Amino acid sequence: SLLAANRAAVPPAPIDVRALMLEKSEEMKTLFYSLVGEDGRLDQAGLEAGLRSWTELDVFHAMPEQLIKLINPARMYSLSGQSSLSYEEFKTALQRENTVAKVVWVLHNKRQDLKVLFYTLAGKAGKLSMSKMMAGLRDCLKQQDWNISIEEASEVITRDLFSRSDRVALDHTPLSWPEFINPILALDATK
């Protein structure tokens, strides 16, 4: 039907990075250290080159393809605020990437509920401040199980996320629905 054809495909469920990191810790460590410089740290260019080589070498037996696709080097280094990462910092950044993927996946699947929440809070104006939206989302997450915590949502949906989009949206600048949802959906690493 026409309606079914217009629906966006649901992205695959995010993997449990913490469990995978425990299961594949030695393989991941070996792959990481195969890319580092003499100082034991890995910069963004090295990680990007490593990801390309991992894909070409078919190392998916050591690191599943879904995990490699989850890694967004530019975002990892931007959020860490460092030009290079140690193995421990890399694992922390990878866990944050997992949180981003999980929150994006849930919000994509709950998009209609989120849109109803947005317009309920926005009223006739159709625009909403970041703080009011986050307060509404917190209340919603307390009342309904969306499989993400308030902390996870707050870690991903930040003022910084919206300030990096086309429109700088500080707390006092109300957001329309597209201005709110598009930067969140743009975080989807599987695209």
**What is the radius of gyration, based on Cα positions, of the chain?**
19
| Span 31-45, average pLDDT | 88
Domain-located, residue 12: no
Domain-located, residue 144: yes
Domain-located, residue 8: no
Q: What is the pLDDT of residue 191?
A: 47
49, 75, 98 - which closes a domain: 98
Helices and strands per DSSP (H, E), number in the chain = 12, 2
Q: E strands along the chain, which residues?
A: 42-43, 84-85
Are residue 86 and residue 129 in the same domain, yes or no?
Answer: no
In the block, residue with structure tokens 């989302």? 137
Are residue 81 and residue 117 in the same domain, yes or no?
Answer: no
The CA-based angle 184-13-160, given to 5 degrees, is 20
Of the pLDDT bands very low, low, confident and very high (cuts 50, 70, 90), residue 63 is: low
Domain-located, residue 41: yes
Are residue 93 and residue 122 in the same domain, yes or no?
Answer: no
CB neighbourhood size of 111 (10 A): 14
Q: Which of 39, 68, 38 is nearest to 53 (CA)?
A: 68
Highest mean pLDDT among 8-12, 169-173, 182-186: 182-186
The domain in which residue 51 lies consists of 17-98
Q: What's the CATH number where 125 sits?
A: 1.10.238
Q: What is the pLDDT of residue 169?
A: 45
Give the integer Cα–Cα distance in Å for 157 and 77. Answer: 18
Give the pTM.
0.75
Residue 67 has pLDDT above 70, yes or no: no
Are residue 67 and residue 133 in the same domain, yes or no?
Answer: no
Are residue 90 and residue 114 in the same domain, yes or no?
Answer: no
